[in-house]
Amino acid sequence: MKDNESIKHPVTVEDHKEVARRHTAKKHTAVNDALHFPTGDAFEADLEEIFASGTEESGETAAIALIDCDLFDRINRDFGPDEGDRILIETGKYIAQSLPEEARVYRIGGDEFGIIFRGTMEREEIFLLLNDLKNGYEVYAPDGEKQTITIGMATAYEDAARCPELIRKADGALFRAKRSGRNKIAMAREEKMVPKTSHYTQDQLQRLAKLAKREGIGEAILLREALDMLLKKYDI
């Protein structure tokens, strides 16, 4: 997610893929060379493996967090890309040093990091750990201004039953935290749904039902993903 003065609508999983592809292509950057974190492609692949492995039946907890550096564009604009790289490197190292063994950190792209938690930690424990991580973040701009981070969190199976939905839920939480003032952490929440209406043609509904059956995904999930992509397209 790019961070500027105007808060954008939550990005879709396709946006994450595109960001990951662009950053994977730039294999030799100062940030990646310094941190050696897996990238967004690995983040998604590892999540897919979790959903395919029967984590829910084993009793393990699986959760993700998306971490965004607040107002990061100001650093590159006012102090240059080298200072931006320094901020990202310090941020990445701080995140990695603050995590337990059962967590893995990724560089999703730009100024966004991702974490996958998989193990025995409960949802509430993960939230408290992330809150401590946010509160303990001490990275400063060249002018001495303390930087902040914002975090969105979502839990596998409890918030979503597949990878794209889980990422969308975590990014929605990140969006809400950004919109409400930044320097916060938010958890995915239950979404209030409304029934399908006459806005759809009979042909569209039949094709939607066919797609849902073929992919084994609920129609509501497919519609939410499509709507998010539409809103992102028109920058809403």
pLDDT band of 142, cuts 50, 70, 90? very high
Q: Is residue 77 part of a domain?
A: yes
Which CA distances in Å does 199 have to 27, 146, 156, 233? 46, 48, 32, 20
Same domain, 98 and 184: yes
Domain with 200 in it: 193-236
pLDDT band of 2, cuts 50, 70, 90? very low
pLDDT digit string, tens, across residues 171-209: 999 999 999 999 999 999 866 555 666 677 777 777 888
> Is the pLDDT at 67 greater than 70, yes or no?
yes
Q: How many residues does the chain have?
A: 236
- Looking at every residue in the chain, the average pLDDT score rounds to 85
Phi, psi values for residue 201, rounded to 5°: -80, 160
Same domain, 163 and 211: no
Overall domain count for the chain: 2
pTM summary value: 0.73
CATH number of the domain residue 210 falls in: 1.10.1220
pLDDT digit string, tens, across residues 46-66: 999 999 887 767 778 899 999
pLDDT band of 3, cuts 50, 70, 90? very low
pLDDT digit string, tens, across residues 122-138: 999 999 999 999 999 99
Alpha-carbon radius of gyration of the chain: 18
